[in-house]
Amino acid sequence: MARRAMSLLNRWSSRAFYVELDGASPSCFALQETHGGNEEAPGLFRKMHAKYDRCYSLHVCGEDRINSAKFYAQLRDRLQRDLPGCNFAPMLSFVPHVRDSLIKGYFLTSECLDPTERLLGDLTRNEPVLVCSYVRGESGGSWTQHVWSGAGGREKMSQKYYVVPSEEPDFHPATLNIVNSDVFYSFEDAREVLQKCDDIIPESAAVLELLCKPQARSKPDFPVIVIEGLDATGKTTLTESLREALGAALLRSPPQCLSPWRARFDQEPPLIRRAFYALGNYLTAEQIGQKATQTAVIVDRFWHSTAAYALATAVSGPVCNLPAEGSEVYRWPGDLLQPSLVVLLTLDPEERKRRLRDRGLGKTEEEQELGQNQLFRLRVEEAYRRICGPVCITVDASPPADQVLQQVLHLIRGKCHL
């Protein structure tokens, strides 16, 4: 068994488990080492009582986080391909309130035990995976968790724990690992991820060649105004109009120089994809610094977008699952050029959908999610509002474009003295 798996087992009973069932509220449970005599099965296991007497979980626990992130993404495809009769859901294991303690995995149920256990046995031998079986007690009311030893079969189970209910955490457990995994707060942390991808993603080298270490952050000579908002809120129209009205330079993030590799990195798991887009902000910042010595600069999206979408993707469920206002995850990176003003365009969801239909353009994966998942859209919008350094000033984008332009010009003249 891998060294990290062994170290995890030393404190395994202190961990909590969070299963995100599709279309249902998450189910939480914990473990205890001794039988108290009256353990009640958690809700997840009570629901399975009539159909299953055994189920499983897989926990990806490799020591290399790049390879672990890729393996976790590939594991879903493998389960779907090799176990067509298996049902599985995302599962998180964590130590409550302990940062960077999160482990991703899957919770499985299957009516075909032999092929399921053969595959799980192969995984314990060859992959960075910790496998557990959950076995219903003879009385039917209690369940025990058995941690597999890594020898490749249920007959080799090692430690045994009793499964007990656990309260849902105050915030989504994914927040424990967000810093420098889903949202990056320094150039060096983001660059390190791509440097470690050289052998598995050849395109990383081309991206790294574009990067220069950011200069010490200083206030630009001219104002830098960032326009944020979901697709179809009017950002492009507004930024073009502001460029003409102010005689300003117009930049976009991610910058055009990254376009050849965006499709490639969009296929990667969040850790790698988010690092790529974080570095795009630093490339944009370099361009801003050059332009802002001569004129005001308008920027179509910047770090707020990168962080808001990453947070909304990492954390599922309602808005209350996001980290609390004032959390460190909303802070501006200390080495990234800070804009003078950030304007967030907002629009009624139905009007935004109508505009998208009128445009008739293909949708990104995140835009598809915005259209299908109201909770995701609400999380994105709330994350935008909570980011500080600077905060977003919200502007209603539903009036005609010329009225929106005049309102934003009024803000710029008041805040930036242009």
Query: Which residues 6+ apart lie within 8 Å of 40 measured at CB?
Result: 141, 142, 164, 165
Give tens-digit pLDDT for 212-243. Answer: 877 766 788 899 999 999 888 889 999 999 99
Q: Give residue limits of the domains in the chain.
A: 3-169, 178-416
Question: What pTM value is reported for the model?
Answer: 0.90
- Report the pLDDT value the prediction gives residue 155, as an integer from 0 to 100: 43
Average pLDDT, the chain: 88
The torsion angles phi and psi of 85, rounded to 5 degrees, stand at: -95, 10
Beta strands 297-300 and 249-252 are parallel
C-alpha distances out from residue 364 to 74, 230, 356, 368, 369, Å: 21, 12, 12, 6, 9
* Separation CA 71–CA 62 (nearest Å): 9
Give tens-digit pLDDT for 322-355. Answer: 999 999 999 999 999 999 999 999 988 888 778 7
Q: Which amino acid is residue 385, in one-letter code?
A: R
307, 383 Cβ separation under 8 angstroms: yes
* Separation CA 154–CA 174 (nearest Å): 30
Task: Report the CATH superfamily, name and number, of domain 178-416.
Answer: P-loop containing nucleotide triphosphate hydrolases (3.40.50.300)
Give tens-digit pLDDT for 399-416. Answer: 999 999 999 999 999 988
The torsion angles phi and psi of 214, rounded to 5 degrees, stand at: -65, 145
pLDDT band at 51; cut points 50, 70, 90: confident
Structure-token pair, residue 3: 């060294």
C-alpha distances out from residue 112 to 80, 115, 342, Å: 14, 6, 55
Query: Which residues 6+ apart lie within 8 Å of 398 measured at CB?
Result: 347, 348, 351
* Separation CA 181–CA 275 (nearest Å): 8
Give tens-digit pLDDT for 57-92. Answer: 999 988 899 999 999 999 999 999 999 888 999 999
The torsion angles phi and psi of 417, rounded to 5 degrees, stand at: 60, 40
* Separation CA 24–CA 180 (nearest Å): 29
Q: Can you tell me whether residue 58 is helix, strand or coil?
A: strand
